[in-house]
Amino acid sequence: MTGDDQHSGAGAAPLLAVDGLRIVIAGSGADVVADASFELRSGEVLGLVGESGSGKTTLALGLMGYTRRGLRISEGSVKLAGQELIGLDDEHLRSLRGATVAYVAQDPGSALNPALKIGTQLREVFIGHEDEFRGDAAVAQRIEQVLADVGLEQIAGVLDRFPHQLSGGQQQRAMLAMAFALRPRLIILDEPTTGLDVTTQRRVLDTVRDLCTTYDVGAVYVSHDLAVVGDIADSLAVMYAGRMVENGPSERVFQAPGHPYTRGLLRAIPSPTRAHALEGIEGQPPRPGSWPQGCSFRDRCEFASEECAVTLPPPVALDGTLRWVRCLRAEEIVTLPALGELPLREHFDIEGDEPLLKIEGLRAVYGAGTEVLHGVDLAVGRQRCLAVVGESGAGKTTLARCIVGLHSNWTGTMTFEGKQLAPGFRGRDHDALRSMQYIFQNPYTALNPRKTVGDLVEQPLRQLFKMSRSERSERVVAALRDAALNEQYLTRYPDQLSGGERQRVAIARGLVVEPQLLVCDEVTSALDVSVQAAIVELLHELQVSRGLTLVLITHNLALVRSLADDVVILRDGDVVERGKDVLDSPQSEYAVQLLSDVPTLSLA
């Protein structure tokens, strides 16, 4: 079944029609994307979701007739506004890109040229498309209009600023302005809100939706965050191991998923209203070139049968012809509740003990006197999880770095187990350094690529303890096991690991010295929802088994509900609200606004 069936009865001709698209590794011919077929109409948004490695970005780039180095399009059709893109020469493709189809990259910080001002980069978009925008006056008028469309017109001198002078959300809006500048028919957005706080994310999502509606533009929105996709997409395509396994209207897919993989992804999403335990999907997706015979998902599927091992599931029509699912048991699975029974989170309530960590009047300064924290007070109880939330620039990471001694230019008092801490780590003794460990946000940059996992986890032991080699080895293996890894990882290098595995190694490195406090700085922001669920459950289990205290720096308020016992909300360096009931009964206008910006899904 192709996308034609999905939109049967719709009057308008499709803007984008994809049929049997196959993308392979150039040398071996192994499939990376197989048999992708769907349609998209003007003004609609298609959400393209799945775990890392599922082929989402490869497919999205293929919609522009483009593949990354080492890949090639081997067969299939991509028609945009009636024009076939597959087989066009480079010159014709270049004329279409930007004008007919535009692309918004995941990381605007690396996609924007750091040496050129925003105005220069915007004007460059018009080079080669002078027929539509004749003369400097027409270009200037269009730039002024598109800046207003994305909400950047009120930023003084935005065209004369360099990318580093804009916030992450402003950079992403500048990318959207460039993408919409030539009024394309189709826009492809690749994880455009990953790493953004909920308020900035809300602004970007609203901007995308408004632009698509205003200019009748079709959009393909690539994301691993199903809550975000559900907030913006009209239809949903779920990818696993290079194939679309479910495709249909978003509302129906979310409320009654027909594929076990879709069910697994939905069960891994944290809820902003219900503190339930998260459930990740066990196992790893197969890599290109090693797809198994039959259903690629069978080894991770609770509904798998013997037939699944030998039969590649054909598309099964559901909801009439509105939706199709590649599963032999789709008609049975679609009748089940989307979430089923997920147990509520069990929180600790230890009364009477002195706080493990207490901060009073913390004022942190950068550079020549720029104060970024203004008299912060907080306390973290033993075996509790304190979540520190707020928009980008609120001072969350600065607070975390002050706690562990990575930022030393601060005043106030900070006590740990009743003992006052020096501002910087150089003034702290080994016991204080051991007792507090920091898990960095990005597992791809936090681990030295030239060292094995064993060396990385062992390094803190060499610095903080006098141990024999055998004692260190035993401690390393124990830490890896606590992080849900085994001895086989000892000799691997970071580039041989997935993002979730890297984050587990980073957690193991923190655990190996047996700390009392883990400071986790946005540790799940770049992870798939399934991997995020596994990491969150791991942290909770460690809280129980090791008696750990957690400080969770995050912008994901739904995640806070699933893990945190107490919440502190920061805004521009000030604490605006705190307490265990912040999420249920916010008192400040800012907290109310933050909670209203959180994407939510309506699930059966």
Cα 420 to the chain's mean position, in Å? 37
Intervals of the chain under pLDDT 70: 1-11, 130-132, 195, 339-353, 526, 602-604
Cα angle 585, 590, 593; round to 5 = 75
**pLDDT value for 208:** 87
To 10 degrees, what angle do helices 168-180 and 198-215 make?
10
Residue in this structure with the two tokens 């913390």, named with its chain if needed = 362
**pLDDT value for 368:** 78
**pLDDT value for 86:** 94
Q: Are strands 83-84 and 315-318 parallel, antiparallel or unpaired?
A: unpaired
pLDDT, tens digit, 9 for 90 and up, residues 51-81: 888 899 999 999 999 998 999 999 999 999 9
Give me the DSSP letters along 396-462. Answer: HHHHHHHHHTS---EEEEEEETTEEPPSSGGGS-HHHHHHEEEE-S-HHHHS-TTS-HHHHHHHHHH
**pLDDT value for 571:** 92
**Per-residue DSSP letter, 554:** -
Token couple for 8: 């049967």
Token couple for 471: 């004692």
Greatest C-alpha distance within the chain? 75
**pLDDT value for 345:** 66
H/E segment holding residue 385:
strand 385-389
Among 23, 498, 46, 20, which Cα is nearest to 242's? 23
559-579 exposure pattern, b = at least 16 Cβ within 10 A, e = fewer: bbbbbbbbbbbbbebebbbbe
User: What is the value of pTM for the model shown?
Assistant: 0.83
H/E segment holding residue 90:
helix 90-96
Q: Does CATH place domain 357-594 in 3.30.930.10?
A: no
Phi, psi of 227, deg, nearest 5: -65, -40
Q: How many angstroms separate the Cα of 305 from the Cα of each of 301, 317, 329?
A: 9, 20, 9
Mapped onto helix, strand or coil, the DSSP state of residue 154 is coil
Q: How many angstroms separate the Cα of 166 from the Cα of each of 115, 194, 206?
A: 14, 17, 19
Intrachain domains 41-67+91-100+185-333 and 357-594 with the same fold: yes
Cα 332 to the chain's mean position, in Å? 31
Among 601, 524, 595, 510, which Cα is nearest to 563's? 524
- Fold of domain 41-67+91-100+185-333: Rossmann fold (3.40.50)
Cα angle 26, 56, 69; round to 5 = 30
Query: Is 257 in contact with 338 (CB distance < 8 Å)?
Result: yes
pLDDT, tens digit, 9 for 90 and up, residues 198-255: 887 888 888 889 889 988 999 999 988 888 888 899 999 999 999 999 999 999 999 8
Return the domain boundaries, the chain.
41-67+91-100+185-333, 105-183, 357-594
